[in-house]
Amino acid sequence: MQNIPTPLVSTFNEINIGKFITTQHFEVADEHNAHDTHMINLAKDRQFAKSLPDYWLSYRLNKRWRRITGLFNIAGTNYYKGNTGFLDKAKHLIIARIDAENRQVTTYTFKNYFTKDVDVILHLIKNGIK
């Protein structure tokens, strides 16, 4: 089994509830955020991209929204996978847990690690490995 790095974990709470139809905005919930951003947004895919993700994840960087990745559902769960990188060179794996009931998103960013087989990663996350 490959060495899996410890992910950067951040939890975000929804703000501006109901203000936008297709986009939800979130603000960081944890004080000790190790993430690159303190705000994210999730936009429902409007089927313009060939990849057809479920959502688009964007970070608020330098007072601007920057699209980071498309998020794809993992086997009917409330977990979604994406990656950062350029074109076919995936660099960082991103797993997002979307909790619609509590209006929260938790992101797990695996720096300098990417795999297409997320079953092992999902198992680690669900069993409390952070």
Q: In three state form, how does the secondary structure of 27-79 look?
A: EECCCCCCCCCCEEEEEECCCCCCCCCCEEEEEEECCEEEEEEEEEECCCCCE
Evaluate whether residue 2 is within a structural domain: no
Evaluate whether residue 1 is within a structural domain: no
Evaluate whether residue 75 is within a structural domain: yes
pTM: 0.86
Evaluate whether residue 63 is within a structural domain: yes
pLDDT in tens, 88-119: 567 889 999 999 888 999 999 998 898 888 98
Evaluate whether residue 17 is within a structural domain: yes
Evaluate whether residue 35 is within a structural domain: yes
Domain that holds residue 53: 8-126
Evaluate whether residue 87 is within a structural domain: yes
pLDDT in tens, 36-69: 788 999 998 877 767 788 999 999 988 999 999 9
What is the domain count for the chain? 1
